[in-house]
Structure 1
Amino acid sequence: MALSKIFTARFYASNAAIFFLVFYFFFGIVPGNMLLSYHLTLIRGFTSNTDFLFLVLSGWAIYNVKCAFFVLKTLSARESLYLYGTLGVLDGTSKWTTWYRIHFSLYLPALAYSAVAVCVAWKDKHIGAAAVIVLFQLLMTVIPLYFYDYRIKRPGTTSIFIRWQQKLNRLFTKPLWAYYVYELLNNGSRSLFITKGVTGLIIIVTYSLMEQPYELRFMLVGLLLVLLAHTVLVFNHRQFDDLKLSMTVQFPLPLWKRYGHTSLAYFVLLLPEFIFLAVRTYQVAGPLDQLLFICVSVSMLVMWRKLLYFSKLDQDKYFRWVLISVVVALFMILGYWYWYLVIALQVLAFTIFSIRYYKYEPPLAEVQ
């Protein structure tokens, strides 16, 4: 009972907003009479499609890592030192049973949904998908237990991830363009992983819904949705620059190089999408189409970032301009003006950047 309050109750309380959002997405937006068919369609979708199944498993893995990190963080907290005197004395079956109950209570939502998925897959004769889900969830519930046991036996030790991060920092000096990407990987991993999961789903759905023959415009419209999923990350980039990199304006760097740093950062940020898109479309999309995907994506994100050099552009106004730019891009795509779109975005972005960069003053709300 005491361990449930320490781990389970605190975990669900601290993540209540996320669980409410997920619950609303899966149950709140669907009419009651369509709820069963909606989830059956969703489950049959990922149990019959390898790419979709991989995406779902990735989502469960991310949630599992979140559960494990919460337990490890709780064990590392100063106010939790007394746990080493209680959990540390357990041995044998009682030790592993206790750790399993703790992790099971946190990971239960994923297990419950996957159990339903296994039953549906088995009934639909998708034996392979059912076996993969069962084996995957078995690993998800067993592997974290060894990390918990390792931490409880070695109180005060630095985690493997932190040691790897410190070693990587000693070996490599981060270039200026990589600072925000590094920040997302370390302190913004939740929003980053959610974004990548959404964009992966968009790419799968876009390619699956496209009728033959291959239609470039259809793929570019799907790509616009992928870019829309990154709007919050782009908006947060300004706050990161204002708080952490405000002194870089004093660096002796020409404007074209600073502009290139932004472009390179967004290219790396979008690299998973480019690779996944190439894997999905390499049989029908030639090298020029792949280059177009990259140019449109990077140009659009760079233009959105440069818009934020207008200090009075708050989040509401920013999203308004984002939607306007997407509508304009949509019409240009439908009109086959693909490369004109890239040129227009680059010219507009660099013009704004060259005019506003040295005049920009961070909003007071971001520097306080």
Structure 2
Amino acid sequence: MLRLLLKTLIKEFYAAHAGLFLFGFYVAFGVVEASQLLSYHKTLMLMVYASHFILASVCCFWALYLLKCLFFIRKQMKLEQYHFLRLLATTEKKRQFILWFQVYAVLLLPILIYVLPLIYVGLAEKAFIAVFIIISVFFLLLAAVSAYMFRIINYSHVPVKVYFVFPCPQLKKPYWTWPLYYLLNEQMMMLFLSKILSFTMFTVVMWMFNDVSKDLRVALIGILAAVLAHSMVIQVMLRQESDQLSFSRSLPIRLSTRMGHTLLVFLVLFIPEILFYLLRSDGQFWPFIVGLGFGIAGLMTLRMVLYWIKLDLDRYFKWLLAFFFVSMFVILAGYAVPYSLLLLASYFLYFFFCYYRTDLKEM
């Protein structure tokens, strides 16, 4: 059975999230020179053992990744070709639990590959308690999701008792908020993972350049990292627009209003990073305006690129790499303001002239 799941369910998971794994691999190993790679990752691992907060954040990241795996499997189980998984209820209960434990262990391989050297560094530094916590959390998470899948297979027919219903008022959902509600309802794990990656990368950049943290260019590099962390969220939003909101083009909405709606969505989406950046810039007005404009311009540029290449992920990651290098060069050269204005102008011109010419059905 495990071999069958390897060829079907697990293979589909890695294929569906190949872009996310490639981006994560690039962030982890591609942004640092080869000669400094070992020392860079050793420093990151030592940070995990030096701070209880960082250790807890790492464990939370594992939990969120595992939840994403769980939601993917739950979604696939609703498909007709995976109804055979319900037949696992006829097998021995111990074998069911071991099977799901193995499945999630394979899904966690990208993390496990990094956890093994992390444990080795911890043992070398004699941080035995932290190593014990890491191993315990890792196995507890695997056991928890395995037990949950065991319950779904064997006891899904048993109704769940509801002891309290929280009175939630029905709120109106303006048209421009639909992409945000879609992220919260359908892509919550993607959104949370992007936010965690965004704050982590922003914090790492500020920590690496702590001696010159007051330099505006350092903060802009952190914002660039936060923008790239949202690259897959933007792709998901555009995919939802092409699949579910294609009818909106027939609505009597002016093009300028549509552009304003897109700007509002990105502002709301980027609010946590904006507030975090405001704290890092000590509330100074001009650095805050420059950082905000640069962040919004970067997000809208990635959206424009996706429109242009029609959601081709292979080309998208090449564009992400090019955008990163060009933006880094511009930031270091001190031309962030004209660069942001150029990106915004390019987006508005492309949106004005090419929005209705782009066939969403071809994406």
Q: TM-score, normalised by structure 1?
A: 0.69
Hey, what's the Cα distance between the residues in 2 that align with 1:330 and 1:35?
A: 20
Contact map agreement 1:292 1:339 (CA 8 A) in 2? yes
Aligned equivalent of 1:44? 46
Cα distance change of structure 1 residues 207 and 33 upon mapping to structure 2, 3 Å threshold:
closer
Shift of 1:306: 4.6
Shift of 1:206: 0.8
Hey, what's the Cα distance between the residues in 1 that align with 2:133 and 2:293?
A: 37
| Matched residue count | 347
Aligned equivalent of 2:134? 133
Hey, what's the Cα distance between the residues in 2 that align with 1:194 and 1:282?
A: 22
Aligned equivalent of 1:282? 279
Contact map agreement 1:303 1:346 (CA 8 A) in 2? yes
Cα distance change of structure 1 residues 148 and 171 upon mapping to structure 2, 3 Å threshold:
farther
Gaps in structure 1 of 5+ consecutive residues: none
Cα distance change of structure 1 residues 364 and 217 upon mapping to structure 2, 3 Å threshold:
same
Contact map agreement 1:48 1:126 (CA 8 A) in 2? no
Aligned equivalent of 1:117? 118
Aligned equivalent of 1:365? 362
Hey, what's the Cα distance between the residues in 1 that align with 2:178 and 2:319?
A: 26
Give the 3-state SS of the residue equivalent to 2:211 in structure 1. Answer: coil
Hey, what's the Cα distance between the residues in 1 that align with 2:314 and 2:8?
A: 33
AA in 2 matched with 1:285: D
AA in 1 matched with 2:243: L
What is the aligned counterpart of 2:90 among 82, 85, 90?
Answer: 85
Contact map agreement 1:203 1:223 (CA 8 A) in 2? yes
Cα distance change of structure 1 residues 82 and 43 upon mapping to structure 2, 3 Å threshold:
same
Aligned equivalent of 2:303? 305
Cα distance change of structure 1 residues 316 and 80 upon mapping to structure 2, 3 Å threshold:
closer
AA in 2 matched with 1:81: R
Contact map agreement 1:48 1:129 (CA 8 A) in 2? no
Shift of 1:262: 0.4
Shift of 1:300: 2.7
Asked if 1:204 is matched to 2:203, the reply is yes
Aligned equivalent of 1:250? 250
- Identity, in percent, stands at 25
Hey, what's the Cα distance between the residues in 2 that align with 1:225 and 1:129?
A: 29
Aligned equivalent of 1:228? 228
Hey, what's the Cα distance between the residues in 1 that align with 2:202 and 2:325?
A: 19
Aligned equivalent of 2:260? 260
Contact map agreement 2:202 2:222 (CA 8 A) in 1? yes
Hey, what's the Cα distance between the residues in 2 that align with 1:328 and 1:85?
A: 58
Asked if 1:350 is matched to 2:333, the reply is no
Aligned equivalent of 2:241? 241
What is the aligned counterpart of 1:60 among 47, 52, 62?
Answer: 62
Hey, what's the Cα distance between the residues in 2 that align with 1:27 and 1:231?
A: 18
Contact map agreement 1:181 1:265 (CA 8 A) in 2? yes
Gaps in structure 2 of 5+ consecutive residues: none
Contact map agreement 1:299 1:342 (CA 8 A) in 2? yes
AA in 1 matched with 2:251: F
Shift of 1:362: 1.1
Cα distance change of structure 1 residues 74 and 348 upon mapping to structure 2, 3 Å threshold:
closer
Aligned equivalent of 1:147? 148
Asked if 1:177 is matched to 2:176, the reply is yes
Q: Deviations over 1:109-136 (max 9, x none)?
A: 3457535534532441445643542443
Shift of 1:315: 7.1
Contact map agreement 1:210 1:218 (CA 8 A) in 2? yes
Cα distance change of structure 1 residues 60 and 347 upon mapping to structure 2, 3 Å threshold:
same
Asked if 1:270 is matched to 2:270, the reply is yes
AA in 1 matched with 2:241: D
Cα distance change of structure 1 residues 38 and 11 upon mapping to structure 2, 3 Å threshold:
farther
Greater CA radius of gyration, 1 or 2? 1
Shift of 1:273: 3.6
AA in 2 matched with 1:301: L
Hey, what's the Cα distance between the residues in 1 that align with 2:29 and 2:323?
A: 32
Hey, what's the Cα distance between the residues in 2 that align with 1:230 and 1:158?
A: 38
Give the 3-state SS of the residue equivalent to 1:212 in structure 2. Answer: helix
Hey, what's the Cα distance between the residues in 2 that align with 1:31 and 1:335?
A: 21
Hey, what's the Cα distance between the residues in 2 that align with 1:283 and 1:111?
A: 33
Hey, what's the Cα distance between the residues in 2 that align with 1:294 and 1:51?
A: 28
Contact map agreement 1:227 1:297 (CA 8 A) in 2? yes
Cα distance change of structure 1 residues 247 and 157 upon mapping to structure 2, 3 Å threshold:
farther
Contact map agreement 1:202 1:225 (CA 8 A) in 2? yes
Contact map agreement 1:310 1:360 (CA 8 A) in 2? no
Q: More deviation in 327-336 or 60-69?
A: 327-336
